[in-house]
Amino acid sequence: MLMESDSPVSKKSRLVHSADCAMEEASSNAVGVNPSLHWTQWQILDSILPTGGFAHSYGLEAAMQSRMVNNQEDLRLFVIQVLENTGSLLLPFVFCASKSPDAAAWVKLDQLLEATLTNEVGRKASTSQGSALLRVAASVFTEIQALQDLRRTFLGSKSVSFHHAPIFGLICGLVGFDSETAQRAYMFVTMRDVFSAATRLNLIGPLAASVLQHQVASDAERMVQKWRDRDVAEASQTAPLLDALQGCHAYMFSRLFCS
């Protein structure tokens, strides 16, 4: 007597299922998916990567002390403004650096962004995060010789400022990200850091911050689609009040963050 698991129908089902799995695997291999690229992407986006991003609030601390952000709804609107400004001003630098991940193009982008940023606090935050990101990337991704060459050639040099957006785009391009992934990743890192700052400022709890981040994700994607794939000549400031708030940070009597 046949057991139920040994019935012809069960055997046929297992064969069909195995065939489907084989077809799916073949399809995945056909499009040239590189699994190691996903691990690299997750590591770059991991908050444990010591790049110094959590030392900056993107103007949130100044906005709270100015009574412009007081509750969860204010925070949601603030994050959307930060994402809008990031998309319009910085995403072009990420895009161009990821499309042409070489030293000569990166130096030009870095120098242009140095001339573009209008407040000293935001400029220092960008350069400190960028230089930290390059040091970390060169230490982690040792198989990428270009990162070692950049670190050896330019760290300590006064010819570049190591702004965060061009460095981020350059690293994404060198590790193999397409430009769309690089731009979306940069927007995610920005959103993640603002919500992290909000929790440490006790504006919102960790769980509520996670819920709100999920809700704002659709707005972040809308910003990516709105501002992606633009040349640096089109980079512009869309939130001058945010720029002013960041500039005020250095004058606060008591502060938790560097910017």
Distance (Å, whole) CA 111 – CA 97: 13
pLDDT tens profile 28-56: 343 455 777 788 888 888 877 766 666 77
Q: Does residue 89 carry a pLDDT above 90?
A: yes
pLDDT at residue 58, as a whole number? 86
> Is residue 35 within 8 Å of residue 170, measured between CB atoms?
no
Region 158-166: what's the mean pLDDT? 91
The model's confidence at residue 251, banded by pLDDT at 50, 70 and 90, is: low
Q: 254 is written with which tokens? A: 């008591």
Q: Does residue 147 carry a pLDDT above 80?
A: yes
pLDDT at residue 105, as a whole number? 93
3-state SS record for 62-130:
HHHHCCCCCCHHHHHHHHHHHHHHHHHHCHHHHHHHHHCCCHHHHHHHHHHHHHHCCCHHHHHHHHHHH
From the DSSP assignment, how many helices (H) and strands (E) are in the chain? Answer: 12, 0
> Is residue 136 within 8 Å of residue 47, measured between CB atoms?
no
Q: Does residue 164 carry a pLDDT above 90?
A: yes
Lowest-confidence pick of 65-69, 169-173, 202-206:
65-69
Distances (CA, A) of 60 to 5, 34, 73, 226: 61, 38, 13, 24
Question: Among 137, 231, 120, 235, which Cα is nearest to 177's?
Answer: 137
Q: Does residue 99 carry a pLDDT above 80?
A: yes
Q: Higher-confidence residue: 151 or 227?
A: 227
Q: 26 is written with which tokens? A: 């073949």
Region 121-138: what's the mean pLDDT? 89
pLDDT at residue 159, as a whole number? 85
What is the dotted CATH code of the domain comprising 35-251?
1.10.4190.10
